[in-house]
């Protein structure tokens, strides 16, 4: 059965001390009252990875970087490689977040390299896709997301593809308080699963965890996660307080 994943994306928030406190608080709640069949992931800044890995029970809480370099190593000042991320004990890496595409010019070509390096270093990519409001208003979201997938992860072997998770995050829903309706989210995730089935076969499609992200919170997570194709969430704002994050983890 495919995994249910609830992943927090802390973005550029928390000092290292605050991050450790937050991780400990989430860990405590997950260990004592968290749903056992949900994979919980904390997406922290690079600087926090080692400390957060040390602060949590790795059998219940995983740790993710929010990015990695497109090159393996070398003269790339300021970059953090997939191997470096892996060496912290983190197991996941969020790739292709719309904020990275928009503010840091990440293209499909860059993402191809990042996904390949993440996989080669034993990290699980949480690959993000999703359309802007103008694309949704033109009702072109399916074609848009299909192209994103084709250009970045559909060129993988079925074996490599089956190691990653996908997060559909409509840009108009990220940090806006506007959530995609349950029907919109389910429709897109079913569409993505159908594309995976066409490309890699039904068995791979059935095993791929596809998450929804975009203003997901304790109030709407229950309804979203009840949908047949929604295997969890990528959570921004609501992952920054343990007491907001736990109800989302327990929304199944
Ligand atoms: C995100 O940035 O991945 C996200 C889903 O943010 P928020 O939950 O704050 O909309």
Q: Show Cβ contacts of residue 14 under 8 Å, excluding neighbours closer than 6 positions.
A: 22, 44, 45, 48, 240
Strands (E), the chain: 4-9, 38-43, 61-65, 92-95, 124-129, 165-168, 210-213, 232-235
At 177 the three-state DSSP class reads: coil
Q: What is the pLDDT of residue 179?
A: 85
What's the gap in Å between 88 CA and the centre of ligand 1?
24
Q: Is the whole-model pTM more than 0.75?
A: yes
Query: In the CATH scheme, what architecture does the domain 4-249 have?
Result: Alpha-Beta Barrel (3.20)
* Ligand 1 pocket mutation, candidates 41, 215, 247, criterion most atoms within 8 A of CB: 215
Cα dist from 54 to 21, 25, 212, 249, whole Å:
12, 13, 28, 21
What's the gap in Å between 128 CA and the centre of ligand 1?
11
CA angle 227, 59, 175 (to 5 degrees): 45
Q: What is the pLDDT of residue 77?
A: 98
- Nearest ligand 1 atom to the CA of 167 is 3
Mind listing the pLDDT tens digit for each residue in 43-82? 999 999 999 999 999 999 999 999 999 999 999 999 999 9
Q: What is the pLDDT of residue 203?
A: 97
Q: Residues in the chain with pLDDT < 50?
A: none
Q: What is the pLDDT of residue 233?
A: 98
Copy the structure tokens of residue 88. 């912290």
* Ligand 1 pocket mutation, candidates 13, 175, 180, 218, criterion most atoms within 8 A of CB: 175
Q: What is the pLDDT of residue 252?
A: 81
- Ligand 1 cavity residues, CB under 6 Å: 9, 169, 174-175, 213-216, 234-238
Please state, in angstroms and rounded to a whole number, the distance separating the CA atoms of residues 42 and 26.
9
What's the gap in Å between 12 CA and the centre of ligand 1?
12
Please state, in angstroms and rounded to a whole number, the distance separating the CA atoms of residues 152 and 97.
13
Please state, in angstroms and rounded to a whole number, the distance separating the CA atoms of residues 170 and 82.
26
- CA 128, 242, 90, 158: dihedral to nearest 10 degrees? -40
Q: What is the pLDDT of residue 178?
A: 85
What's the gap in Å between 139 CA and the centre of ligand 1?
22
Please state, in angstroms and rounded to a whole number, the distance separating the CA atoms of residues 39 and 3.
7
Of all protein residues, the one whose alpha carbon is nearest to atom 1 of ligand 1 is: 236
Q: What is the pLDDT of residue 35?
A: 85
């Amino acid at each position: 059965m495919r995994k249910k994943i609830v992943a927090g994306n802390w973005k550029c928030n928390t000092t290292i001390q605050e991050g450790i406190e937050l991780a400990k608080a989430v860990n405590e709640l997950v260990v004592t009252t968290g749903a056992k069949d949900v994979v919980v992931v904390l997406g922290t800044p690079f600087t926090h990875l080692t400390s957060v890995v040390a602060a949590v029970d790795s059998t219940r809480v995983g740790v993710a970087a929010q990015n990695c370099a497109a090159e393996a190593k070398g003269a790339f000042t300021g970059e953090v490689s997939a191997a470096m991320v892996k060496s912290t004990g983190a197991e996941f890496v969020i790739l292709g977040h719309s904020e990275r595409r928009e503010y840091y010019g990440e293209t499909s070509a860059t993402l191809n390299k990042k996904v390949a390096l993440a996989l080669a270093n034993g990290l699980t990519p949480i690959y993000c896709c999703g359309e802007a409001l103008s694309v949704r208003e033109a009702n072109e979201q399916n074609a848009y997301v299909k192209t994103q997938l084709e250009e970045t992860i559909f060129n993988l072997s079925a074996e490599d593809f089956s190691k990653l998770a996908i997060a559909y995050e409509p840009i108009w829903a990220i940090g806006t308080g506007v959530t995609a309706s349950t029907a919109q989210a389910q429709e897109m995730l079913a569409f993505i699963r159908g594309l995976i089935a066409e490309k890699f076969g039904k068995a791979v499609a059935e095993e791929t965890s596809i998450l929804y992200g975009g203003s997901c919170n304790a109030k709407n997570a229950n309804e979203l996660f009840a949908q047949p194709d929604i295997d969890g969430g990528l959570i921004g704002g609501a992952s920054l307080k343990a007491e907001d994050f736990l109800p989302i983890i327990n929304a199944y």
